[in-house]
Amino acid sequence: MIHPLIETDASLPATSVLRARPSTLEATLSGLPAAAAAFARAQGFKAKEGAVCLLPGEDGAIAAALFGVAEEDAARDPLHAGALPARLPEGLYALEGADETDVLAWLMGAYSFDRYRKPARPAARLIAPAGVDVAAISRIAEAVALGRDLVNTPANDMGPAEIEEAARALAARFGAQITVTTGEALLAAGFPMIHAVGRASTRAPRLIDIRWGRKDAPKATLVGKGVAFDTGGLNIKPDASMALMKKDMGGAACALAAAAMVMGSGLDLRLRVLIPAVENAISGDAFRPGDVLKSRKGLMVEIGNTDAEGRLILADALALADEEAPEIIADFATLTGAARVALGPDLPPFMTDDEALASDIARLSAKIADPVWRLPLWGPYAQMLKSEVADINHISGGSFAGAITAALFLRRFVAKAGAHVHFDVYGWTPNAKPGRPKGGEVQAARLVHALLAERYPARGSAAA
């Protein structure tokens, strides 16, 4: 499959897009026809980063375009080409020096969520440079769009059942097996904390379980927090904090997007995707601060705050994932405000005890422009989770190290897996950036796909 905004026939007539730095702008202009260069100067084009100047030809049509980029390569956003689809008129373009990252950025930047409004104007199309695996890039861009659509959809149309529908559609597309445990059946199946968090809602909680790949392949499991909407429960959120809670299923969107990439790439692994999908609502049946819940692992968990529900449902899912001792478990969750205070919305922290895994994640993050940053799993902070009445409290009760103590809580439920990494994602781009329109985002999904592709390449591939 080739994305409709990508053209592979380089012989087609296309408008050239030239990158221009401020310090070399005059040299760039000197290579253009005199009239075009004069027009750019008359427009006051200074090659400011992200600026576009359309240059007319003798017939008045667009003959070329100038695109301002950062002076220093190190300061340049790797996805800077993602700004172009929204800034160029409809048409076919050839970007000077385009590479694989530019093509992906172009497709990511062309994304628009149009479910509830008239579609945006047609985006500009790009001629792919020779040697680029356009089909692979198209699959990644499609998976990113899938995840963004899930996050952007409001909670009235994206509850636990709709998350299940999206998972079933994905499983059917790739011939994967899927089972779903719903409502009261969660108790009989041994998922008491998923049930407790979701039981107050009229929309039943559930655990979605997808399996794909040959049964004797190395096992890798993705776990995604699927809180369709988070009121905070009885520890109700203030209105400002609740406004964006449709994105609290962003971890599930990340897991499904990563799974789409893995299955679409045909990686040689036994993939499992676990999504606990709930709504954290308020009713007479809501779980309470001070309750003690039994987890799937058997640990008794004291509830310190019902607004820290995500780690509870993840704990049951992680315990299930751990039972078959996969080589790697990666979980995605919009888990803590502390992560955003520490690193902001664009840089999700990741936490793992596995040094080799941490090194691979850091390297691949930079390589594919899917940024994350490591925070320590500082063992002594586990003391903050002590409970006087149960095995563990699920929050520290203080304001310090919230992202780390949440990860330390999750770590208690993983013992057999070869490695475990936790991504505390924001799941949202608050201000549009090149390749990242404002709205839902599947942070670390491309990164996890790249990691798994490196470790478990498709059979018959050059890397296998």
pLDDT (tens digit, 9 = 90+) per residue, 200-220?
Answer: 999 999 999 999 999 999 999
Region(s) of the chain under CATH 3.40.220.10: 6-132
CB 198 within 8 A of CB 188: no
Among candidate residues 7, 195, 213, the one with its CA nearest the CA of residue 94: 7
**For the residues 345-358, what does the mean pLDDT come to?**
98
Which 8-state DSSP code applies to residue 320? Answer: H
Res. 174: pLDDT tops 70: yes
**For the residues 60-71, what does the mean pLDDT come to?**
92
Res. 58: pLDDT tops 90: no
pLDDT (tens digit, 9 = 90+) per residue, 230-277?
Answer: 999 999 999 999 999 999 999 999 999 999 999 999 999 999 999 999
Residues whose CB is less than 8 angstroms from the CB of residue 268 and which lie 6 or more positions away in sequence, other chains included? 213, 214, 217, 218, 456, 457, 458, 459, 464
| pTM, 2 dp | 0.96
Specify the 3-state DSSP secondary structure of 307: coil
pLDDT (tens digit, 9 = 90+) per residue, 354-367?
Answer: 999 999 999 999 99
Which 8-state DSSP code applies to residue 120? Answer: P
Res. 120: pLDDT tops 70: yes
Q: How many CA atoms lie within 13 A of 183 on its CB side?
A: 5
CATH for the 138-455 domain, from 3.40.630.10, 3.20.20.80, 3.30.70.360, 3.40.50.300: 3.40.630.10
pLDDT (tens digit, 9 = 90+) per residue, 418-460?
Answer: 999 999 999 999 999 999 999 999 999 999 999 999 999 998 7
- Report the percentage of the chain scoring pLDDT > 70: 99
Mean pLDDT of the chain: 96
pLDDT (tens digit, 9 = 90+) per residue, 71-106?
Answer: 887 788 999 999 999 999 999 999 999 999 999 999
Region(s) of the chain under CATH 3.40.630.10: 138-455
The dotted CATH code for 6-132 is: 3.40.220.10
d(CA 430, CA 427): 10
Cα 181–Cα 184–Cα 189 angle in degrees, nearest 5: 50
Res. 50: pLDDT tops 90: yes
Helix (H) or strand (E) holding 93: strand 92-95
> Residue 390 has what pLDDT?
98
* Residues involved in catalysis: 237, 311
Cα 409–Cα 414–Cα 416 angle in degrees, nearest 5: 160
Q: Tokens at residue 319, please?
A: 């315990």
pLDDT (tens digit, 9 = 90+) per residue, 282-335?
Answer: 999 999 999 999 999 999 999 999 999 999 999 999 999 999 999 999 999 999
> Residue 59 has what pLDDT?
82
